[in-house]
Every structure is written in C-alpha cells, then in structure tokens.
C-alpha cells in the first residue's frame, strides 16, 4: 500500500513510501506504469521481471564465489584459467568434471533460492525485496569478476549503486566484493567506480528529496523512522526477546517449515564444516558477502517480518545448502563406488547423485509452497476487502470511523473519501465522545463483532508476514470515561489527542483476566530537560513508573489481573508540569493513543 500510494503521490514525510523512500524502485515502477493498467500492477510488473532474473543473478554470483576454491587466479579476462588450477575434490576427478561440479552446484544454489517459499511468495507481490536482492546479487557477481575485468568492475559499481538506491543496507552486501575487487584495480579505476556510485546514489535520493519537497522534512522523517526502528524493532527494545532466542528464527526457520528448515540447516552446516576443514575460500567469501547484512537484520529489524527481511541474505544459505548437497553427493558416491570406477565415471555418478538430491529438495519446497500461492492468486486479501467495504458501509455524516494504525494506508488508497481517526489496534478506545463510532482494525486477541474478513492461515501464516489475515469492521462500543484532570479532545487530520495536568483519572471498561494497557504519551518540550517521573496506577496499584527526556514515547503495560466485570480506574500522574499558559491550561501529559483489552 505504501509503494502504491507513492506511485500516486511520492512524499516520504507521509510515508509514501516509508523512509528513506526506495527511490530507484519507485522510479523503475514509473517506467513500468506505461505498460500497466494500475499503479499496483506496475509495481507487480517490476517484481515479475526481477523474479525472472533471480536464477541468473544467484547463478552468476555462485559461480564467482566457487571460483575462490582455486588457489591461483588467472590474470586473463576468462574464467577457464582459474578453473584449471582447481583443488581436486575427493575422490580425484578430471579438471573438466571439476568445472562441471562448480556449474552444477551453482545451478542448484540458484534454483533453491528461487523456490525458497518466502522468495517465491514475495516475488509475486509489490514489495521491493526481490528487485533489491537481484540487483545486489548481480552487483556482487560483477564486482568479484571485476578483480580481473575492469568492465565488470564498473558495471558492478553501477548495479550496486542502483541496489543502494532501492535499499541503503545493500551497501553491506556489496562491501566485501567491492573491497576485494578494488585491491586489484588502479587508483584511477577505483576513483571512477566510486564516482559512479556517488553520482547514482545522489541522483536517487536527491530525487526522493525533491519529490518530497523539503530537505529538512525529509531528514526529519528519516531520523524519526530510524529512532522508531531502534526503539521498537531493534535489540534495544525492551519488548524484543533476547538475541539468542531469535537466532533460530533469523538463521534457521525463516519460512517456518520444521522439516525443510532442519534439512536445509543440516546441509548448510555440512558445507560450513567441510569448508573449514578444506580451507574453502568460496564459503568464506559467501559469509563475508552476506554475513554483515544478516547480522544487521538480526540486531535491528522487525522480528515479525523475518520471512521477508531474510530474503536480503538468503542467497548465502542457498549457496551453503547447494555446497552441502555437493559434499553429501561426494560421500554417497564414493561409498557406492568403493574406488572401482574411473575418475571420469566417478564424476558422472556423483553429479547424478547431486542432481537427484537437489531435485528432491526443490520438489519438497514446491510442494510446501505452491498450494498456498494458489490461495493468494485466487482470493482478495481481507485488508483490501475490508477497506473497500467502507465506501458502502460508513456514512461520514453520522458515523465516526476509527482505524487501527496498520490499516490506515488501505483506507487512504481504497476509501480516500471516508474520514477517520487513527488509533493503535483493535483494543483502541476513542479519546472523544461520539454517538456512533466504528472501528476498523486487525484482529489480535479480541473477539471480533460486526463484519469480519478472514483468510485461512495455513502455511501462508509462516511464509508471509503475520498480518492482515483477520480484519474486523465493528461498532466501537467500549468507551473510556475521562473523569478528572483532562482537558477536552483535540484533533487535526487523522490525529486525536488530549492533554492533562499533573494528575488524571480515567475509567476503563471491564476486562476479565490479564490485560494490556497501551498508551502513546507526550510531554511539553520545556519539560524534557527536567526528566519528569510518570506514574501509572490501575485500581490503585502502581503498574508502571519511569522517567523520560523524550517528547514522545510508547508504553505497553501488562496487568496480571483486572476487576473482572467491574470498571477499572486508570490514574496517570507526572511530577513536573508547565504553565498555566495564556490559555489557562497547566500541561503535564499528552495522550495520543489509548488502548485497553486482553493481553
């Protein structure tokens, strides 16, 4: 939705799209728009084209990496020179079969990556992940080849710049290939390549700034988005599990198939152990190419979107698995032949085993993924259906619509003439008293009422991002009572908020069992340097107490037990206030979002 809205009105400050703006991706999509009937289909065409380039991109990269197995590299422009110095695998085979071995393993790696469930799934949508990884794989392949070929070196620099123009973190993938190739290039060639990268990246993000309209506002929203990722998504978030608990999700279970994940991980482990034993530089280069981004993702990115974000480093695992299959085939083949075959016959036999093992694994991935893709191809997403329903359900003259944050962009695109207020989620409580209110939100732990739009979870729940499977449009009957200490509600565009003084009392609806209180709070800028203390009490018990120097903060407070069928009393207090001002108000806390419901 963000990319589609960007096609209509590019403005990073409005998250059309989200920072830093993906300018190269949107630029390519505008070219595709000449051949498409809608903005969404233009984005989908881009993904289709790059999806067809997945195989050659990973194949070429794997071939360049496997060339590192040879202790000497030719100074000529071709590849044969380096392959003639191949370290012979066990059992010994002819040089021709050593070259065939690298070819087959590269084909396996590329095929596996193309049929990884998350790669296949997101390759059919309108996200930037597939164009991004294809470009950076081509860039890395050309840069590695650029150690001996100056044309490939400059082409690699151009492709890396375009990949950075889609996602700046692609620099982490291109860093090692660029350093490796630059070691063998002259100062003048390095300067030209650097100039290519700087100019192309400047054009991409300069265009993003120009289209947004203001350098100051662009930088502001980029900083805010970076702060959000650091506070909410990264290892610094208090709500994020420990890194060791997330290790398997980022590096083993990216598509949540227990059997396929274990098989692929064992093959990758075999490749790693074998590479260490044989001092195989190709696998070291593989890690040096994709490892930095993999670690960055593990530390910084949203743990609920691993299936998508892992695409940025999954070529590393595809190459590991392919090499693991090669090594397993060598062991099986050697045991079957028991030294009775010639080197040439042994090579053919092992090649057949390698192809058979790889084919079986690819077929397993296809069997796991294909039925779920049929669901996506033949049904409309619940989020889209729900947003489209607003046009014939909500009467703006009588109804006040509240929209959960994750659904807001769907409303902007499919129901642009329906006004609404932005809230957190399906537990949201309105900050103003309105007679007829509706809530459109994803279903989390609440029991939905009204119109419910669903998609069967199945394996798709593990392949895709775990969002938008259940959406509800329901009457908003749960209301808070702002008893004392509050000023009247204020609003602007989709935002709604209230100010309080030093202390406030609010009555929350009944809630049986464990509950969660979600609030987005703000303090006046003049109070930030005083590091005020904020206390949260529910039913007289202190459930949260903290100090802050931030002007805006989010708090998720888990309450073990509430009053059951009785209302709950929320008391907020702050030990420093501002004012009274010209309007006679004494300001302490600003409440932007309030949500209360089952944990």
Yes or no: say if 344 and 98 are a contact pair by the CB < 8 Å rule: no
Yes or no: say if 44 and 58 are a contact pair by the CB < 8 Å rule: no
- The residues near 593 (Cβ < 8 Å, ≥ 6 apart) are 423, 424, 428, 518, 519, 520
List the Cα angle 405/408/412 in 5-degree steps: 165
98 pLDDT exceeds 70? Answer: no
From the CB of residue 330, how many other CB atoms can be counted at a distance below 10 Å? 21
- The residues near 64 (Cβ < 8 Å, ≥ 6 apart) are 140, 141, 144, 145
100 pLDDT exceeds 70? Answer: no
Q: Say if strands 421-423 and 481-486 run parallel, antiparallel, or are unpaired.
A: unpaired
Which secondary-structure segment (H or E) carries 509?
Answer: none
Tokens representing 102?
């690298």
| Per-residue model confidence as pLDDT tens digits over 17-26 | 999 999 999 9
- The residues near 264 (Cβ < 8 Å, ≥ 6 apart) are 317, 321, 361
The DSSP secondary structure of 166-222, one letter per residue, reads H-TTHHHHHHHHHHHHHTTS-HHHHHHHHHHHHHHHHHHHHHHHHHHS-HHHHHHHH
List the Cα angle 70/74/78 in 5-degree steps: 105
Q: Say if strands 437-442 and 400-404 run parallel, antiparallel, or are unpaired.
A: parallel
Q: What are the angstrom distances between the C-alpha of 125 and each of 25, 295, 321, 381?
A: 13, 26, 26, 12
What share of residues in the chain are helix, strand, coil (percent, to 5)?
55, 15, 30
DSSP secondary structure letter of residue 562:
-
d(CA 527, CA 141): 54
333 pLDDT exceeds 60? Answer: yes
- What pLDDT was estimated at residue 147? 92
- What pLDDT was estimated at residue 345? 58
Task: Tell me the whole-structure pTM to 2 decimals.
Answer: 0.87
- What pLDDT was estimated at residue 340? 55
- The residues near 262 (Cβ < 8 Å, ≥ 6 apart) are 252
d(CA 62, CA 107): 8
Q: Worst-scoring range by mean pLDDT, 88-97, 103-112, 302-311, 561-570?
A: 88-97
Tokens representing 127?
């996200």
| Per-residue model confidence as pLDDT tens digits over 191-217 | 999 999 999 999 999 999 999 999 999
- What pLDDT was estimated at residue 341? 52
Which secondary-structure segment (H or E) carries 248?
Answer: helix 243-251
87 pLDDT exceeds 50? Answer: no
- What pLDDT was estimated at residue 583? 87
Question: Average of pLDDT values for 23-33?
Answer: 97
Q: Is the model more confident about 124 or about 562?
A: 124
Across the chain, mean pLDDT equals 89
The DSSP secondary structure of 267-293, one letter per residue, reads HHHHHHHHHHHHT-HHHHHHHHHHHHH
What 3-state class would DSSP assign to 21? coil
Question: Average of pLDDT values for 256-283?
Answer: 91
Share of the chain above pLDDT 90, in %: 72
Instruction: Compute the residue count for the chain.
Output: 599
- What pLDDT was estimated at residue 86? 41
Yes or no: say if 483 and 570 are a contact pair by the CB < 8 Å rule: no
- The residues near 543 (Cβ < 8 Å, ≥ 6 apart) are 517, 536, 537, 557, 559
What 3-state class would DSSP assign to 442? strand
Residue 410's nearest CA partner among 390, 439, 430 is 390
Tokens representing 480?
């808070």
90 pLDDT exceeds 80? Answer: no
> How sure is the predictor about 408, in pLDDT bands with cuts at 50, 70 and 90?
very high
Distance spanning both ends of the chain, measured CA to CA: 28
- What pLDDT was estimated at residue 18? 93
513 pLDDT exceeds 90? Answer: no
338 pLDDT exceeds 70? Answer: no
92 pLDDT exceeds 70? Answer: no
d(CA 105, CA 99): 10
- What pLDDT was estimated at residue 237? 86
Question: Average of pLDDT values for 221-236?
Answer: 89
175 pLDDT exceeds 90? Answer: yes
DSSP secondary structure letter of residue 583:
T
Work out the burial of residue 276: count CB atoms within 10 Å of its CB; fewer than 13 is exposed, 13-18 middle, 19 or more buried: exposed
- What pLDDT was estimated at residue 496? 94
Question: Average of pLDDT values for 558-583?
Answer: 87
**Which residue ranges form the domains of the chain, and what is each CATH number?**
2-378 (no CATH), 382-475 (no CATH), 481-598 (2.60.120.260)
d(CA 555, CA 281): 48
Question: Average of pLDDT values for 113-125?
Answer: 93
- What pLDDT was estimated at residue 344? 58
Share of the chain above pLDDT 70, in %: 92
Q: Is the model more confident about 244 or about 75?
A: 244
Residue 75's nearest CA partner among 66, 85, 87, 65 is 85
d(CA 134, CA 418): 39
Tokens representing 340?
């009775």
Indicate if the alpha-carbon torsion angle 507, 511, 512, 517 is positive or negative.
negative
d(CA 488, CA 272): 63
Residue 22's nearest CA partner among 134, 131, 142, 137 is 131
């Amino acid at each position: 939705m963000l990319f589609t809205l960007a096609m209509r009105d590019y403005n990073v400050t409005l998250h059309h799209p989200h920072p830093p703006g993906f300018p190269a991706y949107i630029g390519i999509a505008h070219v595709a728009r000449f051949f498409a009937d809608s903005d969404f289909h233009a984005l989908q065409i881009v993904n289709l084209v790059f999806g067809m380039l997945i195989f050659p991109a990973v194949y070429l990269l794997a071939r360049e990496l496997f060339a590192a197995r040879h202790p000497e590299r030719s100074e000529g422009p071709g590849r044969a020179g380096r392959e003639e110095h191949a370290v012979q695998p066990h059992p010994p085979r002819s040089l021709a079969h050593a070259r065939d071995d690298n070819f087959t393993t590269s084909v396996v790696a590329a095929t596996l990556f193309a049929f990884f469930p998350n790669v296949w799934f997101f390759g059919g949508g309108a996200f930037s992940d597939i164009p991004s990884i294809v470009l950076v794989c081509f860039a890395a392949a050309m840069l590695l080849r650029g150690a001996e070929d100056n044309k490939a070196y400059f082409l690699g620099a151009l492709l890396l710049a375009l990949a950075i123009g889609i996602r700046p973190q692609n620099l982490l993938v291109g860093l090692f290939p660029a350093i490796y190739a630059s070691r063998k290039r002259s100062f003048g060639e390095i300067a030209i390549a650097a100039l290519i990268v700087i100019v192309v990246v400047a054009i991409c993000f300069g265009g993003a700034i120009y289209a947004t309209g203001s350098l100051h506002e662009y930088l502001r929203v980029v900083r805010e988005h970076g702060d959000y990722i650091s506070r909410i998504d990264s290892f610094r978030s208090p709500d994020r599990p420990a890194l060791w608990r997330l290790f398997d999700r980022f590096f083993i279970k990216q598509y949540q198939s227990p059997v396929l994940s274990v098989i692929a991980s064992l093959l990758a482990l075999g490749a790693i152990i074998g590479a260490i034993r044989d001092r195989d530089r190709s696998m070291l280069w593989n890690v040096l190419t994709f490892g930095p981004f993999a670690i960055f993702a593990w530390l910084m990115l949203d743990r609920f979107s691993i299936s998508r974000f892992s695409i940025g480093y999954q070529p590393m695992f595809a190459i590991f698995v392919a090499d693991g299959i090669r090594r397993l085939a060598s062991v099986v083949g050697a045991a079957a032949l028991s030294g009775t075959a010639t080197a040439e016959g042994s090579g053919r036999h092992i090649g057949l085993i390698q192809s058979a093992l790889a084919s079986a694994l690819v077929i397993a991935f296809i069997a796991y993924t294909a039925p779920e893709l049929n669901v996506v191809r033949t049904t409309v997403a619940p989020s889209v259906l729900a947003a489209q329903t607003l046009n014939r359900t909500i009467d703006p003259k009588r109804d006040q619509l509240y929209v959960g944050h994750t659904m807001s962009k769907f409303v902007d695109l499919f129901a642009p003439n329906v006004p609404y207020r932005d809230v957190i989620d399906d537990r949201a409580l309105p900050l103003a008293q309105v007679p007829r209110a509706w809530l459109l939100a994803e279903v989390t732990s609440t029991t939905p009422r009204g119109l419910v739009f669903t998609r069967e979870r199945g394996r798709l729940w593990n392949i895709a991002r775990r969002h938008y499977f259940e959406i509800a449009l329901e009457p908003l009957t749960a209301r808070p009572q702002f008893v004392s200490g509050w000023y009247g509600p204020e609003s602007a565009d989709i935002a709604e908020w209230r100010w309080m003084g030093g202390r406030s009392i609010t009555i929350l609806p009944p809630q049986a069992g464990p509950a969660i209180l979600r609030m987005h709070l703000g303090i006046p800028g003049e109070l930030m340097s005083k590091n005020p203390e904020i206390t949260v009490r529910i039913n007289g018990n202190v459930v949260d107490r903290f100090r802050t120097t931030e002007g805006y903060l989010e708090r998720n407070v888990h309450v073990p037990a509430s009053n059951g069928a009785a209302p709950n009393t929320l008391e907020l207090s702050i030990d420093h206030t501002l004012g009274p001002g010209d309007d006679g108000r004494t300001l302490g806390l600003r409440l932007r979002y309030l949500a209360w419901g089952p944990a």
